[in-house]
A and B are shown apart, each in its own frame.
Chain A
Amino acid sequence: MAQLTHRTSSLLKPLSFALSSTRHLSSTTPITVETSLPFTGHNIEPPSRSVETTPQELIKFFRDMALMRRMEIASDSLYKAKLIRGFCHLYDGQEAVAVGMESAITRKDCIITAYRDHCLFLGRGGTLVEAFAELMGRKEGCSKGKGGSMHFYKKEGGFYGGHGIVGAQVPLGCGLAFAQKYSKDENVTFAMYGDGAANQGQLFEALNMAALWDLPAILVCENNHYGMGTAEWRAAKSPAYYKRGDYVPGLKVDGMDAFAVKQACKFAKEHALKNGPIILEMDTYRYHGHSMSDPGSTYRTRDEISGVRQERDPVERIRKLVLAHDLATEKELKDTEKEIRKEVDDAIAKAKESPLPDPSELFTNIYVKGYGVESYGADRKELRAVLP
């Protein structure tokens, strides 16, 4: 409970607190919520379906997920307007994983993921302006415009990227866990990957070492059922990813239910600190294709996509819970969404004002210590620089 009041969120505006104060429940009155489905355990006793929460947290879940949703939709438009170039992998549909996870952990715990990283960045304390500016390759971007969509980082928020090579982030995440254990930090690392990456050899190499050395590593498979255009049953002999750790225990979680995610991550953190690695499989779904170059409808039906949107949408689920607990009216929630829309539009406008990086930035950050060495442009007689 204390965790909720202490967490600073750049996403939450004062207005939302006003919402809950008009209700008969105080913002910190405990509420118990049941997860949509029971958890399924592999080599472990699963946690209970009853999750403790508060009105404040419920409203925050709604707001945070609605903001993430809006950011991704806006990015879709920016990409189509050619303001975002290259790769753009959108997370809409999967918001419950990012939000549920954040609510169970602290910023001293580490998160590392692959390229579908915009919302996780936001959850770790990244701002909308930093995100949009980075997507558009501008100076104010979180990586000063030099990374792009796949390379968002926020080290002070415990977010280690943002990686383009499928599967590489899992050994890296186990390395973060190794360092946490080495430093006696009592914190954990969530190494996230998709159903496509779940078959990578390096994942099993890293998992073996994590288990051998009791590293506080939590491997989180965001199973959205499609690795790019390949359905899970075409890529994995066993798509029961929570069981693939064999000797490593696993939990299957409804990834569209933010409270199930919260419970699972809380459970996993306690487990990892005592017993070493655990795998969480989040059963989730992405509405967009793999990336903006993929319509996402050649390998799955539109009925399937709309079916998930109707039955399992994570934002809708929280909206229903908020309304059921009488924490806000429909109108208030719609107003919140309008505010969010404006917040996102303002951030985009501000990001658009940010200039492209100075040409001298071509040669910065190659090394921490450059020893006065020279680096070269395409025509080295024309463009060269001394690295500081």
Chain B
Amino acid sequence: MWNQVVIRREEDMLGIIRQRVASKANPVSSLEQGIRLIASRAFSSSAKEMTVRDALNSALDEEMSADPKVFIMGEEVGEYQGAYKITKGLLDKYGPERVVDTPITEAGFTGIGVGAAYYGLRPVIEFMTFNFSMQAIDHIINSAAKSNYMSAGQISVPIVFRGPNGAAAGVGAQHSQCYAAWYGACPGLKVLAPYSSEDARGLLKAAIRDPDPVVFLENELLYGESFPVSAEALDSSFSLPIGKAKIEREGRDVTITAFSKMVGYALQAAEILAKEGISAEVINLRSIRPLDRSTINASVRKTNRLVTLEEGFPQHGVGAEICASVVEESFEYLDAPVERIAGADVPMPYAANLERLAVPQVEDIVRAAKRACYRSSSLSASA
């Protein structure tokens, strides 16, 4: 029903636009462009939009419904409906045995979650932010990640650790760290970082179904953002493959890798670069571990230039690993040094202007891409 109304609307819009454009005597190509633009907007409004929050909530709901062994544990996940409302409604639906509110004791409840996973349950442990996971990091690494190996396959750990990661807005140094690089270094863990709502749904479902421990890095500032979701993504059997990156935007001149919130920034930078004649290919990593080295390298072999982008600290970061991988696998294809955009090498300051300097901005990404293309105005005439 709904779709039909939209199509009619689209036809009307096209009709109206056609008249308007015709009267201005525009060349045919702009008319076509105009129709295409209106049509695409109309098509996207016919697709369902979903916030990342709803995407995560629906994924949890569906996986809990499908498998009685899945349960949620964490602070405020039940009666409070979730500190960020990700678990809203789940306590009412599944009861307190499956949506378990804990005291503020990360080491304790993370250990309890891992022990439950040893027994064969499928816990989803929520950290209010990943900064608090540091209190439980021994259980994530030593009790969860390494157990299958140390026991030669006897003790598998089908657990998901999820929560917001990285900087929010004005929360200061102890609440803003990005843990992608630290967790991404550990064999035995899988580390995922969704960007869009489809990412959130597909990757969370894959993580819950996965038999290994998964660290699922969300982003607080993305929770409220809406993205279109396909009909396929809305199906309860939907999931995305772990270890596969997504080319968000195809390009020819420079590759930009990013994950989580930074994907949005990279896409904005790509728009700006396009106007200046630089066609940027934006890769949404989706998976920090396993890292999709083949997609990254294939892209760099095509564009010959690379900018890595992340919010976290630069030293030993995700970008450093990507740079090493590209230098090892695709050295001859590089026409310029790899550029790294990352969070500043400082604890996160509070003052708004300093905070802005501590996180990558779109203009930083544009500038780095231009440098990679030898189009920087600050360079002497070497191009």
B-contacting residues of A (Cβ < 8 Å)?
110, 112, 143-147, 151, 153-155, 160-165, 168, 170-180, 182-183, 201-202, 204-206, 208-209, 212-213, 364-369, 371, 373-375, 380-381
Contact = CB atoms under 8 A, between A and B. Distances in A.
A368 B117 contact: no
Contact of B121 (A179, A206, A208): A179
B184 to A, nearest CB: 13
A387 to B, nearest CB: 8
Interface stretch (B135-143, B217-225, B295-303, B312-320): B135-143
Query: Which residue of B147, B190, B242, B328 has the most chain A CB atoms within 10 A of its CB atom?
Result: B147
Contacts, number: 155
Given A212-B103, A371-B243, A175 B118 contact: yes
Contact of A176 (B102, B118, B154): B118
B155 A375 contact: no
Nearest to B290: A373
Contacts of A368: 148, 153, 156, 158, 211-212
Given A165-B142, A365-B149, A171 B188 contact: no
Given A366-B187, A371-B243, A176 B115 contact: yes
A174 B102 CA distance: 14
B35 interface: no
Nearest to B152: A144
Contacts of B328: 380-381
B151 A179 contact: no
B116 interface: yes
Closest 7 CB pairs of A and B: A175-B115, A171-B111, A205-B108, A179-B119, A205-B105, A144-B152, A172-B115
Interface of B: 71, 97, 100, 102-103, 105, 107-121, 138-139, 142-143, 147-156, 158, 187-188, 190, 210-212, 241-243, 290, 293, 328
Contacts of A179: 115-116, 118-121
22 contacts: A110-B119, A143-B152, A146-B149, A153-B151, A155-B151, A161-B151, A171-B108, A171-B109, A175-B116, A175-B117, A175-B118, A175-B119, A179-B119, A204-B108, A205-B103, A365-B152, A366-B148, A367-B211, A368-B156, A368-B158, A371-B241, A371-B243
A213 B103 CA distance: 11
B115 A209 contact: no
Nearest to B148: A365
A367 B210 CA distance: 10
A176 B156 CA distance: 13
A371 B190 CA distance: 11
A369 B152 contact: no
Given A160-B118, A163-B143, A365-B149, A209 B105 contact: yes
Contacts of B149: 146, 365-366
Nearest to B213: A367
Contacts of A161: 147, 150-151, 155
